[in-house]
Amino acid sequence: MSGRFTGIIFGLVIGFAGCDNSGSSVSTDIEEPMVWTTQGGEEAQVITPGLLISGDGEPAVTIVDTTPLVEFSGEYTWVLQVEDGAAMGVDRVTARPRMPDHGHGTLPAVVEATLQDNQVTLEPLYLYMGGIWEIEVILYGGEDSISSFSVFVYVEG
């Protein structure tokens, strides 16, 4: 058998291997979504507008916008909505990014913003290397901490 003829037969066999009787392509591969966890077991979230990031029993804090979308290492701006924040006495919000598995943070170590119309703009959140980042968010009323929680995000290097 010539090399060209063998190649044609091989191509036809491989081509038909992925087809059912109707000739349409059938995929049996089921991709599971990637899940990233810290060494402590905390699961990273995909940060998208509309994501509720506060915990149970906390004031509801939602991502209104992230610029750019959190994917690769770099500088980010997050706009957060604090539901009934002013009514609860919240006047400012801080965010402290750190990498729990690496034991370090970033600069600036803490980003702070004043609550206006129940929203804050936190910038710059500088997530400068790939891995899981913990963003600790603290809601303040005056000098007192009203609530705090952490959100974990995965960043490509």
Residue with tokens 């959100």: 151
Question: Please, are residues 73 and 116 in contact by the beta-carbon 8 Å criterion?
Answer: no
Taking every pair of Cα atoms in the chain, the longest distance, rounded to a whole number of angstroms, is: 85
Residue 126 lies in a domain: yes
Which residues on adjacent β-strands are paired with residue 137?
95, 149
- Positive or negative: CA dihedral 49, 37, 132, 149: positive
Say how far apart CA 141 and CA 138 lie, in whole Å.
10
Single pTM value for the model: 0.76
Residue 26 lies in a domain: no
Q: What is the per-residue pLDDT for 29?
A: 60
Residue 139 lies in a domain: yes
Residue 44 lies in a domain: no
Q: What is the per-residue pLDDT for 32?
A: 59
Residue 35 lies in a domain: no
Domain residues for the domain of 134 are 61-155
Residue 151 lies in a domain: yes
Q: Is the pLDDT of residue 135 over 60?
A: yes
pLDDT in tens, 60-102: 999 999 999 999 999 999 999 999 999 999 999 999 999 999 9
Residue 52 lies in a domain: no
> What is the DSSP annotation of 42-67?
PBPB---TT-B-S-TTSPPEEEEEEE
Q: What is the per-residue pLDDT for 58?
A: 81
Total domain count for the chain? 1
Say how far apart CA 112 and CA 80 lie, in whole Å.
12
SS3 call for 35: coil
96 or 27, which is more confident? 96
What is the CATH number for 148? Answer: 2.60.40.10
Residue 50 lies in a domain: no
Joined together, the tokens standing for residue 101 give: 């598995």
Q: What is the per-residue pLDDT for 31?
A: 60
